[in-house]
A and B are shown apart, each in its own frame.
Chain A
Amino acid sequence: RKEVEQDPGPFNVPEGATVAFNCTYSNSASQSFFWYRQDCRKEPKLLMSVYSSGNEDGRFTAQLNRASQYISLLIRDSKLSDSATYLCVFNQAGTALIFGKGTTLSVSS
C-alpha cells in the first residue's frame, strides 16, 4: 500500500458548489495531519491542520478517521480563488512529513 493516496482529480465544480477530497495514509503511527494548498508553480502553503475531533476554518472542514486511516477536506460554497492543488500531508516517525501528490480543484463561474 502506498504511504499516501489521493485522487488526483481534476475536480471541476461550479462556483458555490460543495466539494470533498479524501486521502488515505498507511502509517498508523502518524500523529499530525495537514492540508496544504499549492497554486500553480508556487510553494505549498499550510491550509489547515487536521485534528482528531475534526475542525473547521470558515468554509473549510477537515476530518480525521484513524480507524480507517484517512483524512478529508470539505470545501463549501466554492470560490474561483479556491482553484488550486490540495496536498494531503502527515508526519512519519520523527521529523519527516509525507506529502501526497495532490488533488487538483478547478472552480468555474
Chain B
Amino acid sequence: DAGITQSPRYKITETGRQVTLMCHQTWSHSYMFWYRQDLGHGLRLIYYSAAADITDKGEVPDGYVVSRSKTENFPLTLESATRSQTSVYFCASRGQGLTYEQYFGPGTRLTVT
C-alpha cells in the first residue's frame, strides 16, 4: 500500500542498547523527518533529510543518528538508549514543492527501561 510506514510500532529496550526505528515511504517524497512527541513538549524535530545522502539536525538531535541511502527509507538509530528517550517517534515526509505540509507515519512507541 502507498503511504508512509514505521516499524516497529512498539518497542521496549534497556538503557544502553542500540535501537533502530525504521521509516519507509512510497510517495518518492524528497524530504523526510523524524520527530519525537512527549507530554508537555509537543512535536520536536530530531533530524530531517532533503534527499538521499543529505541529512541535517533538528531541534533535539543529541543521542540520535540518521542515514538516508535510499529515497524511500530514513532509519533513526539511538546509539545508546537512555530513559529520557522514552517517547513516541513519528516519521514524516513531504514532496519537493513550495508547500510545506508533511504527512506522518503511524508512530513508534519506544520505552527505555
Would you call B41 and A32 a contact (CB within 8 A)? no
B101 interface hit (Cβ, 8 Å): yes
Which one of B14-22, B43-51, B65-73, B79-87 is at the interface?
B43-51
Would you call A95 and B101 a contact (CB within 8 A)? no
Complex Cα distance, B106 from A102, in Å, reads 18
A44 interface hit (Cβ, 8 Å): yes
Instruction: Determine how close the nearest CB of chain A comes to the CB of B77; give it in whole angstroms.
Output: 21
B75 interface hit (Cβ, 8 Å): no
B27-65: which have CB < 8 Å to A? 31, 35, 40-43, 45, 48, 50, 58
Instruction: Determine how close the nearest CB of chain B comes to the CB of A85; give it in whole angstroms.
Output: 10
Complex Cα distance, B42 from A91, in Å, reads 15
Q: Tally A residues with Cβ within 8 Å of B.
A: 18
Q: Which residues of B contact A (CB under 8 A)?
A: 31, 35, 40-43, 45, 48, 50, 58, 88, 90, 99-107, 109
Known: A43-B106, A44-B43, A95-B100. 14 other contacts (CB 8 A): A32-B99, A32-B100, A34-B100, A44-B104, A46-B101, A46-B102, A46-B103, A87-B42, A96-B58, A97-B102, A99-B35, A100-B42, A101-B42, A102-B42
